[in-house]
Structure 1
Amino acid sequence: MKNKGFLLAVLIGLIFVLVACGEDASSEQWDEIQEAGEIVVGTSGTLYPASFYPEGSEELTGYDVEIIREIANRLDLDISFEAMGVDTMLSSLKNGRVDLIINDMEVTDERKEQFSFSDPYKYSYTTMIVREEDHSGIETLEDLEGKKAGGGATTVFSQIAEHYGAEVVTYGNATNDTYLRDVDNGRTDTVINDYYLQSLALKAFTEFDIVLHPDIKFHPTEQAIVMPKGSETLTTKINETLAEMREDGTLTELSEQFFGADASQKPEEDIEEIEGLDL
Structure 2
Amino acid sequence: MHTSIKAALALLAFTPAVNALAETPLKIGISGEPYPPFTYKAASGEWTGFEVELAHAICAELERECEIAPTGWSGIIPSLQAGRIDMIMNSMSITEQRQRVIAFTRPYYFTPGAYVAASERELTVPDDLDGLVMGVQSATTNATYARRALRDSGVDVRLYDQAEQVNSDLLAGRLDVVLADEVAMLQFLERSEAEGFEIKATAPHHSAYGEGIGIGLRQEDEALNAALDEAIAAVVEKGTCGELSEQFLGTDVCVYP
Are 1:52 and 2:52 counterparts? no
Q: Which runs of 5+ in 1 are unaligned?
A: 1-30, 267-279
Tell me how far 1:174 sits from its aligned partner. 5.2
8 Å CA contact 1:34–1:77 kept in 2: the answer is no
Distance, in Å, in 2 between the alignment partners of 1:38 and 1:98 is 10
8 Å CA contact 1:33–1:39 kept in 2: the answer is no
Residues 44-193 of structure 1 mapped to structure 2, 5 A cutoff: 44=31, 46-54=34-42, 56-135=43-122, 138-163=123-148, 164-165=150-151, 166-173=155-162, 175=164, 178-193=165-180
**2:13 aligns to what?**
none
Per the alignment, in what secondary structure is the counterpart of residue 234 of structure 1? helix
Distance, in Å, in 2 between the alignment partners of 1:91 and 1:173 is 18
Tell me how far 1:217 sits from its aligned partner. 4.1
Question: How many pairs were matched up?
Answer: 229
**1:251 aligns to what?**
241
Q: Deviations over 1:176-220 (max 9, x none)?
A: xx42231132212222122112112211x221221111x444237
**Aligned counterpart for 1:234 among listed residues 197, 216, 224:** 224
Instruction: Sort the Cα spacing of 1:33 and 1:173 in 2 relative to 1 into closer, same or farther, 3 A.
Output: farther
8 Å CA contact 2:25–2:67 kept in 1: the answer is yes
CA RMSD of aligned residues (A): 2.2
State the TM-score, normalizing by the size of structure 2.
Answer: 0.80
Tell me how far 1:103 sits from its aligned partner. 0.8
State the TM-score, normalizing by the size of structure 1.
Answer: 0.74
Matched-pair identity in %: 26
**1:218 aligns to what?**
204
Tell me how far 1:247 sits from its aligned partner. 1.6
Instruction: Sort the Cα spacing of 1:216 and 1:242 in 2 relative to 1 into closer, same or farther, 3 A.
Output: closer
Distance, in Å, in 1 between the alignment partners of 2:55 and 2:243 is 14
**2:192 aligns to what?**
206
8 Å CA contact 1:129–1:190 kept in 2: the answer is yes
Tell me how far 1:146 sits from its aligned partner. 4.2
**2:181 aligns to what?**
194
